[in-house]
Amino acid sequence: MRTPAVKRTFATWPARVHNVSMDHATPLEQALHAARALVLADLVAGEAAEADVVSLVEDSVTHRRWWVEQWPEGVDYLAGLVAQDVKDALLQKHGRWPLCPVCNHGEPHALDVEPELGTDPQWVCSEAGVRVAPVGGLGPVFGGRVE
């Protein structure tokens, strides 16, 4: 019963982030907020936005804040890195995420983030060799609505 409340709260997160005035936020904070919102949107789409999973997002954002402070040129890579961090952490604690919606045969497998270090990160199925959705865009793929 608790999960739907979490889903409703985070389902509108990206829309609220874009409507919030961030005039006083640094480019780093803006990029961190955007990366957080994109990954949360994908977690909601995959029905994985449980409290402990959202904590993994926050852990990644904290780590990546330090990382970008050391390498400011990496700010454009934050969304893909946070997505990959959360994917890796989920594999260790809960299993594969996000599961590939493209392949209906063989062993279930997770999507990958590509490029590994680059702008415009995408969820891809490496087995089928297809792009599935941009990071933050899994909602329509999993049958959710677009905010």
pLDDT of amino acid 95: 92
Give the H or E element holding residue 43.
helix 27-45
Of the spans 25-34, 74-83, 104-113, which averages the highest pLDDT? 74-83
| Spatial distance between the Cα atoms of 93 and 75, rounded to a whole number of angstroms | 27
Which tokens hold the place of 15? 């829309």
75-85 confidence digits (pLDDT tens) = 999 999 999 99
Average pLDDT on 79-104 reads 94
pLDDT of amino acid 66: 95
Model pTM score: 0.81
pLDDT of amino acid 130: 96
| Spatial distance between the Cα atoms of 15 and 64, rounded to a whole number of angstroms | 23
pLDDT band at 115 (very low <50, low <70, confident <90, very high): very high
**pLDDT, averaged across the chain:** 85
52-72 confidence digits (pLDDT tens) = 999 999 999 999 999 999 999
Is 60 exceeded by the pLDDT of residue 47?
yes
